[in-house]
Amino acid sequence: MKKVALGFTLILSMLGVNAQNSTAIDKKVNALLKQMTLEEKVGQMCQLTLNSIGEGPDIFTSVEPYRVDDGRIKRAIVDYKVGSILNTSNNRALSLEQWHQVAVRIHEEAMKTRMKIPVIFGIDAIHGVNYTQGSTLFPQELAMAATWNRDLVQRGAAITSYEMRASSIPWNFSPVLDLGLDPRWPRFWETFGEDPYLTSEMGVQMIKGYQGAQNNVAAFDKGAACLKHFLGYSVPVSGKDRTPALIPENYLREYHLPSFKAAIEQGAKTLMVNSGIINGESVHASRRILTDLLKKELKFKGVVVTDWADIENLYKRDRIAATPKEAVKLSVNAGIDMSMVPYSVDFCDYLIQLVKEGEVKMERIDDAVSRILKLKYELGLFEKPITDYKEYTQFGSKEFEKSSYSAACEAITLLKNENVLPLSKGVKVLVTGPNANSMRTLNGGWSYSWQGEKTEEFAQKYNTILEAVTSKFGKENVLYEAGVEYNMKGVYHDEIMGDFNAVQQKAAQADYIIACIGENSYTEKPGDLQDLYLSENQENLVRELAKSGKPIILILNEGRPRIISRIERLVKGVVMAYLPGNFGGDALADVLAGDVNPSGKLPFTYPAYPNSLIAYHHKPAEEQKKSEGAYDYNGEFTPQYPFGFGLSYTSFTYSQLALSGKNMGKDGSLEVTVKVKNSGSRDGMEVVKLFVSDVVASLTPDVKRLKGFQKIALKPGEEKLVTFRLTPSDLKFVDLSNRSVAEKGEFVVEVANLSSSFNLTENILF
């Protein structure tokens, strides 16, 4: 009791401190703003990339090792008063010492300006500080979602923030809160998957990890998060990055908005805008989305930054502005606070002219600059602009590495197991496939370089799947033949055929075949895809292996579900590895050997066909069950593996699903309880998932929606009671007037194979 009361007082007093800090900061911001010239204000709104201030033949290429160019940095920071820099240089990771030098040099220059406002540095540290050498790289977001473990997500983000601050960087362009709804999209793996609830839950954890639970971002190991990409970036019609999307507003609000809303409520400090186009409207020019929805309705008080060169895109790509200057006007008036330009200071010239011409109001500039200055104060940049990396003694430590390894272990998802796994220690295995001996494919894009192509250079000390399996099963028991390799010099989807005869010979000597297939690393446009099937070469490799008659275990090391329906029946086991990071090889070897019992669950629906890219939360019209008399067309919803699916080496039995009542009113809630037992013979972890469905609604309802989950550990024979609470808010949907409503009537609750129902007794408008 005392503990609770103490905790409560502590929270209250912390809130009080935060509120006081916030008013004190507002005062400082106002005082500073009053002294600033238009040029100084506009400079704060401009963000340049590191290469543009580097020494080198041009602003796109810098010398190695990186050095700031005295003339270029002076022009940017002293002459143009630029307030922010981003990115690494020459698209390669820098050492801690180099980051320190960069920070020192930038700060020296900022101190030469009249206002002495520190420059804020931003970086994409999306799975660890992936642009700092020796940092702890984690599984990518999709894999983190597959753990269904909130603590692991928060811990990973906390380590990332620590190592980011060790690199003297206070601002992280993460998390991605877009939904992974279309597996063709090349950034699918950067998401938490297809579900709005799972994405919201994991997003909040990530922000707590980056910013601290109380958002004390000035702390030595915390920084600012950046929610991206607001809003509706992930579902372009063509599946190709940065191409137009069609999203009705009720769907935008129903599926895409909740994760951002939850993150804003958690206190996320900054947000990045969607580079794309929705219903013909470029989001960077959308006042409706950036000001009316984001700043007014959601009351977002932080900084809104553009994505890379996206103001220019309004002119160059989308042709909604006749000149680059008009593009600046459209976007700043829409609600942009900072432009990730990223190479030129023209943005400043245009914006200054626009204000002088009355085309952009001074209030808009003041709003943007106040937000930026506030962020700089909150981050403590005025007091401590540079950190000393030597004080960050846990950087890259064994303890941090262990967190990454645990996350990889809990992410790995066993999708098929016909009595083949785990393998016993003495067996002889053939390890094959283009992903078998590559650190690059384990990490994916945004690893030591944008596309991940420099990974082998920096990740030598970690184990590939082949290396980890070899140390686990013994050198004498492991054969290797790639069969198919990625062409590292060509475009990302290029492959080179290997020696299938050698593969056959080695298969003949092995007891089992571990076929490591999937994709090479990629992100953004370079990852666009014409065909979602697994490549023909890799399919043929599996067909060839099947001729040996040896049991095959497929390891899927891929950023999106490449379709395997043409070869799946040839294999006995399927293990989804996602992009598990630097410890993915070790985790996989442990899962294969049974030292780790897999507990990952798919955070998306794994499609069986390229024309069936439908999420689990689809409408009843998508079901077309043949068993219920539907025509024998290809209309049935039959994914390869459903959302939330994942096997274990033990088994779990569910019983006694109970609701605390049969009715729920406006102010009511219901408790849902269920018993879960480990009915097998190994320790295991289970993800207990609660789904709810609206039986009849005025807009055709989704067949079901996830409304709760808990990951629990159970010993053999152990049983636990799991409790969830449902409130009316879990029953709502967005209607055609874009209002959130819950309609009275029957709702079904589903946990595993059990279900029960209750009634909502009144209509509710939220």
CB 758 within 8 A of CB 749: yes
Q: What are phi and psi of 76, to 5 degrees?
A: -70, -55
* Spatial separation of the C-alpha atoms in residues 19 and 8, rounded to whole Å: 16
Residues whose CB is less than 8 angstroms from the CB of residue 548 and which lie 6 or more positions away in sequence, other chains included: 504, 507, 508, 513
Which two structure tokens, joined as six digits, stand for 429?
């295995």
What single letter denotes the amino acid at residue 51? N
Residue 189 interacts with ligand BGC (CB under 6 A): yes or no: no
Residue with tokens 């303890």: 399
* Spatial separation of the C-alpha atoms in residues 166 and 162, rounded to whole Å: 6
* Spatial separation of the C-alpha atoms in residues 73 and 81, rounded to whole Å: 10
Site for ligand BGC in 251-280 (CB under 6 A): 272, 275
State which residue, 230 or 649, has the beta carbon closest to ligand BGC: 230
State which residue, 225 or 507, has the beta carbon closest to ligand BGC: 225
In the chain, count H helices and then E strands: 21, 29
C-beta of 39: minimal distance to ligand BGC in Å?
Answer: 26
State which residue, 182 or 686, has the beta carbon closest to ligand BGC: 182
C-beta of 233: minimal distance to ligand BGC in Å?
Answer: 8
State which residue, 276 or 584, has the beta carbon closest to ligand BGC: 276
Residue 228 interacts with ligand BGC (CB under 6 A): yes or no: yes
Which two structure tokens, joined as six digits, stand for 597?
């019992």
State which residue, 173 or 747, has the beta carbon closest to ligand BGC: 173
* Spatial separation of the C-alpha atoms in residues 115 and 523, rounded to whole Å: 39
Q: What are phi and psi of 672, to 5 degrees?
A: -115, 125
Query: Dmax of the chain from CA atoms?
Result: 79
State which residue, 130 or 370, has the beta carbon closest to ligand BGC: 130
Separation in Å, CA 64 to CA 69, 89, 96, 135, 191: 12, 9, 15, 20, 33
C-beta of 626: minimal distance to ligand BGC in Å?
Answer: 42
State which residue, 340 or 542, has the beta carbon closest to ligand BGC: 340
Q: What angle do CA 248, 253, 255 make, to 5 degrees?
A: 95
State which residue, 85 or 615, has the beta carbon closest to ligand BGC: 85
CB 282 within 8 A of CB 316: no
CA 263 to chain CA mean position, Å: 13
* Spatial separation of the C-alpha atoms in residues 722 and 674, rounded to whole Å: 5
Please tell me the total number of residues recorded for the chain in this structure: 766
C-beta of 48: minimal distance to ligand BGC in Å?
Answer: 12
Site for ligand BGC in 521-560 (CB under 6 A): 524
Q: What 3-state class would DSSP assign to 686?
A: strand
Which two structure tokens, joined as six digits, stand for 132?
């700092």
What is the layout of strands, in order, in the sheet containing 429-432?
413-417, 573-576, 552-557, 512-518, 429-432, 478-481
Question: In terms of C-beta density within 10 A (0-12 exposed, 13-18 middle, 19 or more buried), how is residue 625 classed?
Answer: exposed
Site for ligand BGC in 30-89 (CB under 6 A): 87
C-beta of 544: minimal distance to ligand BGC in Å?
Answer: 39
Site for ligand BGC in 696-755 (CB under 6 A): none
Separation in Å, CA 476 to CA 425, 472, 473: 12, 11, 8
Binding residues for ligand BGC, how many (CB under 6 A)?
A: 9
DSSP string covering 303-339:
EEE--TTHHHHHHHTS---SSHHHHHHHHHHHT--BE
C-beta of 85: minimal distance to ligand BGC in Å?
Answer: 12
Among 80, 138, 173, 405, binds ligand BGC (CB under 6 A): 173
Residue with tokens 């900022």: 110
Active site residue 730: no
C-beta of 450: minimal distance to ligand BGC in Å?
Answer: 8
* Spatial separation of the C-alpha atoms in residues 516 and 654, rounded to whole Å: 34
CB 304 within 8 A of CB 290: yes
C-beta of 568: minimal distance to ligand BGC in Å?
Answer: 33
CB atoms within 10 A of CB 63: 13
State which residue, 174 or 403, has the beta carbon closest to ligand BGC: 174
Q: What is the DSSP letter of 95?
A: P
Which two structure tokens, joined as six digits, stand for 464?
């590939």
Among 251, 308, 343, 533, binds ligand BGC (CB under 6 A): 308
Binding letters toward ligand BGC, positions 89-128, x by CB under 6 A: -----------------------------------x----
Which two structure tokens, joined as six digits, stand for 700?
């055709």
C-beta of 176: minimal distance to ligand BGC in Å?
Answer: 7
CB atoms within 10 A of CB 84: 26
Among 141, 195, 249, 307, binds ligand BGC (CB under 6 A): 307
Which two structure tokens, joined as six digits, stand for 711?
């990951």
State which residue, 389 or 450, has the beta carbon closest to ligand BGC: 450
C-beta of 330: minimal distance to ligand BGC in Å?
Answer: 20
* Spatial separation of the C-alpha atoms in residues 159 and 122, rounded to whole Å: 17
Catalytic residue among 182, 241, 307, 702: 307
State which residue, 292 or 524, has the beta carbon closest to ligand BGC: 524
CB 53 within 8 A of CB 69: yes
C-beta of 187: minimal distance to ligand BGC in Å?
Answer: 8
C-beta of 348: minimal distance to ligand BGC in Å?
Answer: 20
Site for ligand BGC in 508-527 (CB under 6 A): 524
State which residue, 167 or 463, has the beta carbon closest to ligand BGC: 167
End-to-end CA distance of the chain: 35
Separation in Å, CA 755 to CA 602, 704, 747, 748: 21, 12, 10, 7
Residue 364 interacts with ligand BGC (CB under 6 A): yes or no: no
Binding residues vs ligand BGC (CB under 6 A): 87, 124, 173, 228, 272, 275, 307-308, 524
* Residues acting as catalytic residues: 307
